[in-house]
């Protein structure tokens, strides 16, 4: 005789709709938080037997597609997101567009992440276009039980049982943990190898602090990192650092900073401060969270030059290259003892 609890669960499962049970190929836009949580999302869907198709890296074509669907006020990063959704729309059974909730007002995400499914649907509707959006409210950064429940609910919409959903969530967490750990380890080894060289032989180490979808997107910060490397610098990334350690350290900077990703970046800047010669803050125009956080970082960071760059959909990269080259020149002179001694 099944228990009342099991009967209730079975009835709930039977009643719950699985509107995406037929979606075999899931599109993952290569934009926004896919740069931070993409390994997790890919593993989750693959564990549920889905094929995952990731859109191609951003370029001007992707940006123009997104801009055509967007209102002017949207930030560059969310315009690119719309462009990636558009690139996938006719190619997959559904495009994954999650909404990230955080846990409370002091552990949250930019409002764009929360409103993303509505933003995508309304942008396409206004353009008279159709896109099948697989949305989900994910409790990322909240209590573990809430996060697990949100993924199990997403799995149910794909027709999976609770057990299958939990298994997929565990596989997803494992994949993301492995990826984060391997990036953080590789960067720590780079820092350690550089510190073993005599100071005069060490290449300049420059920390790029930016949201991952800014720092690693070839259309957004690509010209910045290319110019830094072309100038002979070793480029480190604030997002490729132990996230838990960075979050803890961020409390030295602020007790009330509400955005989870900005907190990780700020904490990594503080942790890596002594290992780098300079810091480049890159932000996508117009970014609300960065406009507040970057100004505060620039004021608080002592003893290391800081370059702040706001990237728009520029049609050329000459301006960025010039500013990066001047910054590297300043750091090089500083390394030699300053302008008076250089």
Question: Under the rule (CB under 6 A), what is the footprint of ligand SF4?
Answer: 75, 77-78, 110, 112, 211, 284, 287-290
Question: Rounded to whole angstroms, how far apart are CA atoms 102 and 147?
Answer: 9
Output the smallest distance, CB 78 to ligand SF4, in A. Answer: 5
Query: Which C-beta is closer to ligand SF4: that of 288 or that of 342?
Result: 288
Residues facing 282 on adjacent strands:
309
Query: Which C-beta is closer to ligand SF4: that of 29 or that of 165?
Result: 29
Cβ-contact 46, 158 below 8 angstroms:
no
Question: Rounded to whole angstroms, how far apart are CA atoms 143 and 150?
Answer: 11
Output the smallest distance, CB 291 to ligand SF4, in A. Answer: 8
| Terminal Cα distance for the chain, rounded | 85
Query: Which C-beta is closer to ligand SF4: that of 78 or that of 250?
Result: 78
Output the smallest distance, CB 292 to ligand SF4, in A. Answer: 10
Sheet holding 234-237, edge to edge: 234-237, 205-209, 278-284, 306-311
Query: Which C-beta is closer to ligand SF4: that of 18 or that of 292?
Result: 292
The CA-based angle 216-207-142, given to 5 degrees, is 65
- Strands 25-28 vs 51-54: parallel, antiparallel or unpaired: parallel
Question: Is the preceding omega at residue 234 within 30 degrees of 0, hence cis?
Answer: no
- Strands 205-209 vs 278-284: parallel, antiparallel or unpaired: parallel
Cβ-contact 136, 150 below 8 angstroms:
yes
Query: Which C-beta is closer to ligand SF4: that of 38 or that of 289?
Result: 289
Output the smallest distance, CB 278 to ligand SF4, in A. Answer: 22
Output the smallest distance, CB 327 to ligand SF4, in A. Answer: 22
Strand residue runs (E) in the chain: 25-28, 51-54, 94-100, 133-138, 205-209, 234-237, 278-284, 306-311
Output the smallest distance, CB 265 to ligand SF4, in A. Answer: 11
Query: Which C-beta is closer to ligand SF4: that of 40 or that of 112?
Result: 112
Element (H, E) at 164: helix 162-196
Supply the Cα-derived Rg of the chain in whole angstroms.
22
Query: Which C-beta is closer to ligand SF4: that of 110 or that of 227?
Result: 110
CA 222 to chain centre: 15
Output the smallest distance, CB 135 to ligand SF4, in A. Answer: 17
Query: Which C-beta is closer to ligand SF4: that of 19 or that of 288?
Result: 288
Cβ-contact 239, 33 below 8 angstroms:
no
Output the smallest distance, CB 81 to ligand SF4, in A. Answer: 8
């Amino acid at each position: 005789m099944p228990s009342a609890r099991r009967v209730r669960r079975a009835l709930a499962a039977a009643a719950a709709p699985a509107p995406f049970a037929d979606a075999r190929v899931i599109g993952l836009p290569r934009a926004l938080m896919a740069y931070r949580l993409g390994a997790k999302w890919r593993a989750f869907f693959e564990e549920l037997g889905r094929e995952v198709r990731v859109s191609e890296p951003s370029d001007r074509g992707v940006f123009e597609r997104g801009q055509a669907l967007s209102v002017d006020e949207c930030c560059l990063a969310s315009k690119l997101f719309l462009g990636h959704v558009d690139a996938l729309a006719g190619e997959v059974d559904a495009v994954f567009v999650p909404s990230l909730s955080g846990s409370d007002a002091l552990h949250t995400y930019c409002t764009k992440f929360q409103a993303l499914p509505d933003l995508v649907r309304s942008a396409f509707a206004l353009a008279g276009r159709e896109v099948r959006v697989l949305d989900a409210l994910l409790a990322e950064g909240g209590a573990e039980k809430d996060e697990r429940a949100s993924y199990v609910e997403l799995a149910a919409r794909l027709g999976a049982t609770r057990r299958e959903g939990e298994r997929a969530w565990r596989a997803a967490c494992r994949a993301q943990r492995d990826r984060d750990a391997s990036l953080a380890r590789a960067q720590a080894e780079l820092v350690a190898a550089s510190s073993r060289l005599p100071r005069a032989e060490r290449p300049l180490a420059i920390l790029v602090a930016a949201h991952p979808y800014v720092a690693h997107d070839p259309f957004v910060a690509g010209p910045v990192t290319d110019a830094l490397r072309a100038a002979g610098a070793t480029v480190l990334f604030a997002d490729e650092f132990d996230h838990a350690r960075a979050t803890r350290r961020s409390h030295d900077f602020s007790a009330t900073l509400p955005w989870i990703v900005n907190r990780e970046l700020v904490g990594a800047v503080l942790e890596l401060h002594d290992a780098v010669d300079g810091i480049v803050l890159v932000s996508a125009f117009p970014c609300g969270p960065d406009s507040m956080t970057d100004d505060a970082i620039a004021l608080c960071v002592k003893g290391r030059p800081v370059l702040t760059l706001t990237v728009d959909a520029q049609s050329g990269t000459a301006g960025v290259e010039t500013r990066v080259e001047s910054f590297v020149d300043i750091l090089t002179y500083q390394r030699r003892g300053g302008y008076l001694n250089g």
